[in-house]
A and B are shown apart, each in its own frame.
Chain A
Amino acid sequence: MARLNHRYVILVVLAAVIALLPLVFPSSYYLRVAALVWVSAFAAIGLNILMGKAGQVSLGHAGFFGIGAYAVAILPARFGLPSLVALAIGAALSALLAFLVGRPILRLKGHYLAIATLGFGVLVAMVITTESRWTGGPDGMAVAKLSLFGWRASGSATWYWITGGLLLIGAWIALNLDDTPTGRAFRALHDSEIAARVTGVDVNRFKLQAFVIAAVYGSIAGSALAMMNGFINPDQAGFLHSVELVTMVVLGGLGSVVGSIVGAAVLIVLPQLLTVFQDYENLMLGAIIILSMIFMRDGMVPMAWKLLTRTGR
């Protein structure tokens, strides 16, 4: 019972934060940064299902982000499809690709899986960069604005609410999963693959499911970002962005939905605060990874939770 409440407490608090933040924001610039956080957090929550729950690493996740982004760029521009249909096609394509690639890749463990997923991400980024007739190559391409029944979504405030709503849905689904046969199978194979197998868990099937779920999250986040920015370039599918997503997940806390949001917030907001260090953004990313691995192996949210419950007693 406590568990059930826990899930709704998180969602209600998250909804309240999303609803109230604009009241304290002095300018629309803040709305834009927050919307960026919500989009990244959405992708991180998906990746966290794969990494934190099922215990499988992916260093090529920006590949799916890129597929989603370019789907809403290319399909409306070339085939006149509505943006939302393009988003759905991108997500379906990501799911299919994750399914096909995941089958052989997810049999690998540890470092081998890391390298294989990294290879996948690099491959997607390379295709996007070289197929310039379709993608505009390294220069990127413009993305049509999202329009719904004649209403065109533009402006920071609009996208703040769209991405905020998206994040709520993403968090709700991820939280749903925890106490279900699927969620338990993920966590079980994370802790002991051998024990999971002898209790009847089809380990390969569940790894694949987690991979596909994470891919769909990543793809939708990519679509949302592309439509919000009205522009997309191959960096969004690149290795550095993959590392950024992994860092959000690990920094915030493996397996923690709230952690993914906090991790995304830190990684998006920090560079905005420290604009002087703009040239050193990658350096900072590296430093954050190293420091959090040394001082906060569990991630920010689980560690804060531990401290809170310890002093509470």
Chain B
Amino acid sequence: MTILEVSDIGIAFGGVKAIDGVGFAVAQGQIFSIIGPNGAGKTTLFNVISGMYRPSHGRVALDGRDVTDLAPDALAARGLSRTFQNLQIFQRMTAAENVMVGRHLQERCNLFADLLRLPSVTRQNRATREAALGFLDQVGLRDGADVLAGSLSYGACKRLEIARALAAEPRVLLLDEPAAGCNAVETEEIDKLICRVAAKGIAVVLVEHDMKLVMKISHRILVLVQGRMLIEGNPQEVRDNPAVLEAYLGKHGAREAARA
């Protein structure tokens, strides 16, 4: 069943079209990858979907409902979570606290109860921490729970962001280059993690430069070049399409690759 539907999105910065006429649909449990050369507009597309940029035209729908004009926190409340290509972690909070913030929408939040730290707040806090530790476990960061996030390694921060996003119990998860800067072992773990997440019925939209990873786990792939869709298809179709090779390697490189 389709859960995220993006249609005919366009956005321009200072007259330059960063994205033009992009549309796709993602179903529950599907891993949908968006690939393309640097500057193709992948992150910008995520920013539009997650409500950080308002598109100049087009529409984003969650569950068939138009959410194009909703703010990021309102979108989060409707089950959309994301991670960032350039890390956006809460540096001065511990790893566990980072993930606990991810549980914000699951928690009851009453200012006066919090100011007085009523027993209900303490109780909820304990439950939230338990849940957060569970999500840290899922990304293999359980041992670093009480370490300040600012002192974690780059790869650990990437996984921490995933744990924080998962903690919100999203129905749609946008991952912007989760394997960037990770070694082969870590990439392997992220690969498994994404598959597990999708198996739970969460729709995963993945932006990733690691082609091996993308080809292996994606159900569908969209190729974005200079803000426009080149093709959308399954991994086999994308791999065999000469235009894709050309976009990545240039005309000359594509001919070389075809001959090899």
A199 touches B93 (CB 8 A): no
Interface of B is mostly: helix
Q: Given contacts A197-B71, A197-B72, is CB(A184)–CB(B97) below 8 Å?
A: yes
B116 touches A200 (CB 8 A): no
B114 touches A180 (CB 8 A): yes
B92 touches A191 (CB 8 A): yes
Looking at the assembled complex, report how far the CB atom of B163 sits from the nearest CB atom of chain A, in whole angstroms: 11
Q: Given contacts A194-B84, A200-B76, A201-B73, is CB(A180)–CB(B121) below 8 Å?
A: yes
A202 within 8 Å of B (CB atoms): yes
B72 touches A198 (CB 8 A): yes
A183 within 8 Å of B (CB atoms): yes
Q: Given contacts A180-B125, A181-B104, is CB(A199)–CB(B168) below 8 Å?
A: yes
A177 within 8 Å of B (CB atoms): yes
Chain A residue nearest in CB terms to B150:
A191
On chain B, the residues within 8 Å of A196 by CB distance are: 90, 101
B111 within 8 Å of A (CB atoms): yes
A-B contact count (CB 8 A): 101
B89 within 8 Å of A (CB atoms): yes
Q: Given contacts A180-B121, A192-B88, A203-B73, is CB(A198)–CB(B82) below 8 Å?
A: yes
B117 within 8 Å of A (CB atoms): yes
On chain B, the residues within 8 Å of A255 by CB distance are: 92
- How far is B90's CA from A195's CA once the two chains are assembled, in angstroms? 8
B50 touches A177 (CB 8 A): no
A209 touches B84 (CB 8 A): no
A190 within 8 Å of B (CB atoms): yes
A207 within 8 Å of B (CB atoms): no
A173 within 8 Å of B (CB atoms): yes
B117 touches A176 (CB 8 A): yes
Residue from B81, B108, B113 in contact with A199 in the complex, judged by beta carbons closer than 8 Å:
B81
B76 touches A180 (CB 8 A): no
A187 touches B84 (CB 8 A): no
Q: List CB contacts (< 8 Å) of B231-257 with chain A.
A: none
B145 within 8 Å of A (CB atoms): no
A194 touches B102 (CB 8 A): no
0/1 per residue, B82-126, Cβ < 8 Å to A?
Answer: 101000111111000100111011011101011111000100110
B52 within 8 Å of A (CB atoms): yes
Looking at the assembled complex, report how far the CB atom of A183 sits from the nearest CB atom of chain B, in whole angstroms: 7
Looking at the assembled complex, report how far the CB atom of A306 sits from the nearest CB atom of chain B, in whole angstroms: 12
- How far is B165's CA from A181's CA once the two chains are assembled, in angstroms? 17
B159 within 8 Å of A (CB atoms): no
- How far is B102's CA from A182's CA once the two chains are assembled, in angstroms? 13
A220 within 8 Å of B (CB atoms): no
Interface of A is mostly: helix
On chain B, the residues within 8 Å of A195 by CB distance are: 84, 88-90, 164
Q: Given contacts A180-B114, A200-B76, A200-B77, is CB(A185)–CB(B50) below 8 Å?
A: no
A191 touches B93 (CB 8 A): yes
A185 touches B90 (CB 8 A): no
A179 within 8 Å of B (CB atoms): yes
- Most chain A CB inside 10 Å of its own CB: which residue of B76, B81, B88, B101: B101
A243 within 8 Å of B (CB atoms): no
- How far is B102's CA from A151's CA once the two chains are assembled, in angstroms? 51
A188 within 8 Å of B (CB atoms): yes
- How far is B72's CA from A197's CA once the two chains are assembled, in angstroms? 6
On chain A, the residues within 8 Å of B91 by CB distance are: 191-192
On chain B, the residues within 8 Å of A194 by CB distance are: 52, 72, 84, 88
On chain A, the residues within 8 Å of B111 by CB distance are: 182, 209
B107 touches A181 (CB 8 A): yes
Q: What are 12 A-B contacts with C-beta separation under 8 Å?
A: A176-B116, A181-B108, A184-B93, A184-B101, A184-B104, A187-B93, A191-B93, A195-B89, A197-B73, A198-B73, A199-B165, A203-B73
Q: Which positions in A face B, CB cutoff 8 Å?
A: 173, 176-177, 179-185, 187-188, 190-192, 194-203, 209, 213, 255
Task: Beyond A180-B114, A201-B73, list 20 extra A-B contacts (CB 8 Å).
Answer: A173-B115, A173-B116, A177-B114, A177-B115, A179-B125, A181-B128, A182-B114, A185-B104, A191-B91, A192-B89, A192-B91, A195-B164, A197-B73, A198-B72, A198-B76, A199-B104, A199-B105, A199-B165, A200-B77, A202-B73
